[in-house]
Structures are given as C-alpha cells and as structure tokens.
Amino acid sequence: MPIPAPKVFWLLLAILGVIIHAYAEDYTIGVDYGQLGDNLPSTQEAIHLIQRMKAGRVKIYDTNPEILKALSHTGIKVSVMVKNEDIANVSSNQSFANKWVKNNVVYFYPATRINIILVGNEILSDYSNNQTWYQLVPAMLRIRRALLRYKLHHIKVGTPLAMDVLNTSFPPSSGIFRDDVAETVMKPMLEFLSRTRSYFFIDVYPYFAWSSDSNNISLEYANFGDHDKNYTDPNGLVYTNLLDQQLDAVIAAMSKLGYEDIRLVIAETGWPNAGDLNQLGANIFNAAHYNRRIIRRMLADPPLGTPRRPNQFIPTYIFSLFNENQKTGLGTERHWGLLYPNGSRLYEIDLTGELQDSEYKPLPPPPPPYKGKLWCVVDANANVSALPSAITYACSQGNNTCVAIQPGKPCYQPNTVIDHASYAFNSYWQQFKNSGGTCYFNGAATLVTKDPSSKICRYPFA
Ligand SMILES: *[C@@H]1O[C@H](CO)[C@@H](O)[C@H](O)[C@H]1NC(C)=O
Ligand SMILES: *[C@@H]1O[C@H](CO)[C@@H](O)[C@H](O)[C@H]1NC(C)=O
Ligand SMILES: *[C@@H]1O[C@H](CO)[C@@H](O)[C@H](O)[C@H]1NC(C)=O
Ligand SMILES: *[C@@H]1O[C@H](CO)[C@@H](O)[C@H](O)[C@H]1NC(C)=O
Ligand SMILES: *[C@@H]1O[C@H](CO)[C@@H](O)[C@H](O)[C@H]1NC(C)=O
Ligand SMILES: *[C@@H]1O[C@H](CO)[C@@H](O)[C@H](O)[C@H]1NC(C)=O
Ligand SMILES: *[C@@H]1O[C@H](CO)[C@@H](O)[C@H](O)[C@H]1NC(C)=O
Ligand SMILES: *[C@@H]1O[C@H](CO)[C@@H](O)[C@H](O)[C@H]1NC(C)=O
Ligand SMILES: *[C@@H]1O[C@H](CO)[C@@H](O)[C@H](O)[C@H]1NC(C)=O
C-alpha cells in the first residue's frame, strides 16, 4: 500500500529534523573541571553545580569513571583526556588504544555524551619529555582507529596546545609554529585534524599576554572592555581585543603549513580571581568582566568569529570550575575558579550569555595594585612537618642562601624550624623571583608586606 502523500511529507520533515539536529551547532559554553584540590566537593555535587550553572559542555583531564558515570543522562557534552603518561603506549600499541577506548569511552557511551577525546595536555610545552612529541600524532591516529572499530566515528580526536606552540604571535598575520615542531609534529597533526574534520584545540589566555606586557596593552583590550585604540594588522585586519589577535595568530600559523580551514576550539581560557600580592590584575573584578564578556561574545548570534575568520562559532571552555588549592606555581594558579571549593560563586556569572554587564549586581572594586616591597615567609597554616625538607631544598639553591642561619650567624637565633624556614624561603625567593622562582613551597610559604627582619637578623631583599 503506498504511503499517502501528506504522511510522506511529515516523514521527510522528521528525517530532515533528525539530520539538522545531528549537525546543528550546539551554542553552549563549556567548563574545565580540574580536580587538583583537596577540598573539592564530591563528584555528584560538582556535576549538580555544573548543571545549575547551565554549562553545556565539560572537559575533564582524565577519564575518571565516577565523573563519567555522574555525567550520564545529563545531556552535557563531555571531553575526556588520554593522560600524558599513556601516550607512549597508545602510540605504539593498537590493542592498548582499543582497550583504552573500550574501557573509557564505549563503556559510558552514549548515556554519557562523550564527544571529544583529547590526547595529552599541552604536550608540546613540555621540553623535558620531548620524545613524547613524536608519539602524539601516532597516538591520535590509533585512538581514531579504535573509535572507528567501535563505530564511534563522530567522536572527535584532538590535543590541546598552549600558545607557546607558536614562535611568533604578533602581528597576528605573522603567526607561525615553532621550528622544532612545525614540520615534524604540526604538519602531520593538521593533516589528521583536517582529514577527520576535527578541531585545533588551543589554550589561550589574554591574561598572560597582558600581564607580561601591561605597559603596552590596555586592560580593556585584554578583557573586552571599552578602549580607545584598535590594532590594525599589516594585512589590514582590525582587532578590537587581544583574544582575537591570539586566535588569528594560530590560524595564520596553520595557514602557513597549508591548512587554512581547520576550526578552533578554545580548550581553556579564563582570568584569575586572585593571586600573589605582586601579581597585577588578578582579582574578582577583572575575572568577572573577562569571563562574562567572553561568554557573551562566544554565544553571539550570529557568531562573531575573528577578523580573519568571521561568523564562525568557536566552542569555548572556561578554566576552571573550581579554585584548585593543590596547583603549584604562582598564586594565580590556584585562583582560576568560577566557584569556591564549597560550591558558592566567586561572582555572578551567566553561562548562557544572556545577562549584560549592567544587569549583574555591582562587583567589589578591584584592590589597588601592590607596588611595595615583599618578603617570602612561612605561612601561618603551613604544615610544620613538611618544613625541614623545604628548608633543605631552598638552601640547596642559589648563592649563600642559608649562611645566615648557620650556628653563630646572625639569624641562627631563634633556632626554630619556622624561623629558619622563613629565612630560607625568603633568601631563595629574593634570588629567584625574577627568573620564575615562586614563593610557594607546597603551600608552606606566603608573601608579606612587612619586613620580617629583626635588629640582628636582616632578611635579604633584592
Ligand atoms: C606501557 O607499556 C610498558 C611497556 O610495554 C609497560 O611497562 C607499562 O606498564 C605500560 N603502561 C601502562 C599504563 O599500561
Ligand atoms: C599492548 O597492549 C595490550 C593491551 O593493554 C597488552 O596486553 C600488550 O601486552 C601490549 N603489547 C606490548 C608489546 O606492550
Ligand atoms: C629533545 O631534548 C633533547 C635533550 O634535552 C635535545 O638534545 C633535543 O635537541 C631535543 N629535540 C628537540 C626537537 O627539541
Ligand atoms: C623562531 O623564528 C626565528 C626566525 O625564523 C628562528 O631563528 C628561531 O629559531 C625560531 N625559534 C623557534 C623556537 O622556533
Ligand atoms: C607594543 O608592542 C608592540 C609589539 O611588540 C611594539 O611594536 C610596540 O612598539 C609596543 N609599544 C610600546 C608603547 O611599547
Ligand atoms: C574599533 O573597531 C570597532 C569595530 O570595527 C569599532 O566599532 C570601534 O569604533 C573601533 N574603536 C576605535 C577606538 O577606533
Ligand atoms: C564559601 O567559601 C568562601 C571562601 O572561603 C566564603 O567566602 C563563603 O562565605 C563560603 N560560602 C558558604 C556558603 O559557606
Ligand atoms: C605534613 O607533611 C608531612 C611530611 O611531608 C606529611 O607526611 C603529612 O601528610 C602532611 N600533613 C598534612 C595534613 O598535609
Ligand atoms: C650566583 O653567583 C654567580 C657568580 O657570581 C652568578 O653568576 C649567579 O647568577 C648567582 N646565582 C644566583 C641565583 O643569584
């Protein structure tokens, strides 16, 4: 019996609907769910918070089965990661890759909407492990092959890179990959991304570019505020913000290797809500402005894209969900979160991009930048049992770092582990602060504005 014409029409419409739905762009914002904290909420609680914030995507840095399970039936798209230490085995062993995909993807899919597998994290920034660089693309190929084996061809395979994969990023049109990876790693990677219609995943932080050149770049240019100077590239394109410059530098670099069309995903971006006293611009005021505005920009309809590639939607993940207290390095590292570990927000933020700046409650004014002297001493909450080894480390670095706390020397008294550690931390930090040394010591150290010196014991200041 022939199907009556109206029914055919509705059937075709339904099929078309399914096709459009499958290929339609999903205009949502993602969050990076990092877990380097010892005070973070349970997985279940974290997923509830992600849902309450209305994030449409989440990226995790592993394949934590508890998280993948908790994300099932939420509709949230999930990006999972092959850990750096597994890349060697994945790259050389197809059975290993198959097993990885089976255990970490197939097992959870489709209840958990895994849509991206990232192979490693910022691999090309790790110079101490450069043999892994050459395993990266082979590992991506093997993960892809494993996905095909399980008929999961629509899951994209990529790898997030940092901006240091570029040799030059300014002017944007001069963007070019580093010599040490361009031909050997980037070219085959771009070939793979292009052939599989995947994305170039970039971690991009206008905050870092601005804070390292803040005399030259205005804060408003970095955080999408009102400013009085656009930048015109020699190629004629006009830039109204730093992020667009950075993204177009990446596109220029791809283009120089013959790949002009690979789409971008911002795998990480954000702005620190706090930092060390001497870290400029890291505060709630600036973080709220940057994140609110980038969300609105990225969800603009029609999409804004960049000057070089207008009107293209760029999926974006905000780093990060929580402030993570176990991240090492400068103070900013532990303050990228949208949420405190107790789940409350650092500032209001609407991940659907509907609220305008003026519709949010007023923010606390940014604290004035601290320009005075600083010393690095033991933190009031430091774990005292961890101090002796920290002292040993600090004293082993630099020149004459701990001479003054030897017996008979001016800072030997008071002979306590806390006093000696304070002296050692400060002596270390004053020597290394300008070359990347941090006042951290696993959380045992903190910067202070008051000179800890006594009449006889002078704390060095450089
Ligand atoms: C990777 O392979 C090496 C050598 O075959 C093996 O020793 C190691 O345990 C493997 N690593 C994992 C995570 O399976
Ligand atoms: C390859 O991986 C499989 C699955 O993990 C493992 O059983 C096998 O020993 C590995 N082969 C080599 C040569 O490491
Ligand atoms: C990789 O690291 C080794 C040891 O540090 C170095 O000799 C070599 O030149 C590096 N290779 C590249 C491509 O950077
Ligand atoms: C950057 O480019 C310059 C000029 O081509 C070159 O001399 C230099 O070695 C490159 N550096 C890196 C890290 O690629
Ligand atoms: C700002 O940086 C650009 C690129 O490095 C440079 O051309 C320009 O001269 C700088 N301007 C100032 C005021 O330093
Ligand atoms: C910068 O460019 C934008 C977009 O083209 C334009 O609306 C704005 O007026 C320009 N700003 C300045 C200060 O020239
Ligand atoms: C959560 O933690 C922050 C920072 O410690 C604090 O200011 C805030 O009051 C806490 N919120 C709740 C509900 O406990
Ligand atoms: C304090 O430090 C010691 C020595 O490093 C370590 O064994 C212990 O677990 C730490 N305690 C806490 C609460 O972190
Ligand atoms: C230690 O002293 C040497 C020789 O004076 C100098 O080259 C070096 O930079 C000093 N190291 C530090 C960390 O200050």
Q: Tens of pLDDT along 379-432?
A: 998 999 999 999 999 999 999 999 999 999 999 999 999 999 999 999 999 999
- Domain boundaries along the sequence of the chain: 20-359, 375-448
* Cβ-count burial 188-203 (b if 16+ within 10 Å, e if not): bbbebbbebebbbbbb
Would you state the pLDDT for residue 462? 83
pLDDT reading at 22 higher than 90: no
Q: What atom of ligand 8 comes closest to residue 389's alpha carbon?
A: 5
Query: Which residues, at least 6 apart from 459, have a Cβ–Cβ distance to it below 8 Å?
Result: 375, 422, 423, 426, 427, 451, 452, 453
**Catalytic positions, written as ranges:** 122, 268
Nearest residue by C-alpha to atom 3 in ligand 9: 399
Read off the pLDDT of each residue in 232-243 and give the average, rounded to a whole number: 98
Query: Would you say the pTM of this structure is higher than 0.85?
Result: yes
Nearest to 36 by CA among 379, 343, 344, 341: 341
The pLDDT tens digits for 128-154 are: 999 999 999 999 999 999 999 999 999
Ligand 4, from 125, 165, 167: best to mutate by most atoms within 8 Å of Cβ? 167
Evaluate if residue 16 carries a pLDDT over 80. no
Q: What's the topology of domain 20-359? A: TIM Barrel (3.20.20)
Ligand 1: nearest atom to the Cα of 85 = 13
For residue 424, the model assigns a pLDDT of: 98
* Residue 234 CB–ligand 5 contact under 6 Å: no
Residue to mutate (ligand 9; options 395, 397, 399, 429; most atoms within 8 A of CB): 399
Which ligand lies nearest to the CA atom of residue 41 in the structure? 7
Ligand nearest to the CA of 95: 2
Taking the C-alpha atoms of residue 422 and residue 430, their distance in angstroms, rounded to an integer, is 12
Ligand 1: atom nearest CA of 86 is: 13
Closest C-alpha residue for ligand 6 atom 6: 240
- For ligand 6, say whether the CB of 238 is within 6 Å of any of its atoms: yes
Residue 336 near residue 318 (C-beta atoms within 8 A): no
* Atom 5 of ligand 7, nearest CA residue: 340
The answer to whether 256 and 176 are in contact (CB under 8 A) is yes
pLDDT at residue number 2: 58
Confidence of residue 270 (pLDDT cuts 50, 70, 90): very high
Pair 202, 264: CB distance under 8 Å: yes
Indicate whether residue 430 lines ligand 9 (CB < 6 A).
Answer: no
Average pLDDT over residues 75-86: 98
234 Cα–ligand 4 center, Å? 21
Residue burial 294-311, b: 16+ Cβ < 10 Å; e: rest: bbbbbbeeeebbbbbbee
pLDDT higher than threshold 70 for residue 5: no
Question: How many CB atoms neighbour CB 265 within 10 A?
Answer: 23
Say if residues 435 and 428 touch (Cβ distance below 8 Å): no
| CB of 358 closer than 6 angstroms to any ligand 9 atom | no
Which residues line the pocket of ligand 7, CB cutoff 6 A?
340, 342, 344
Mutation pick for ligand 1 pocket among 85, 89, 90, 91 (CB with most ligand atoms within 8 Å): 89
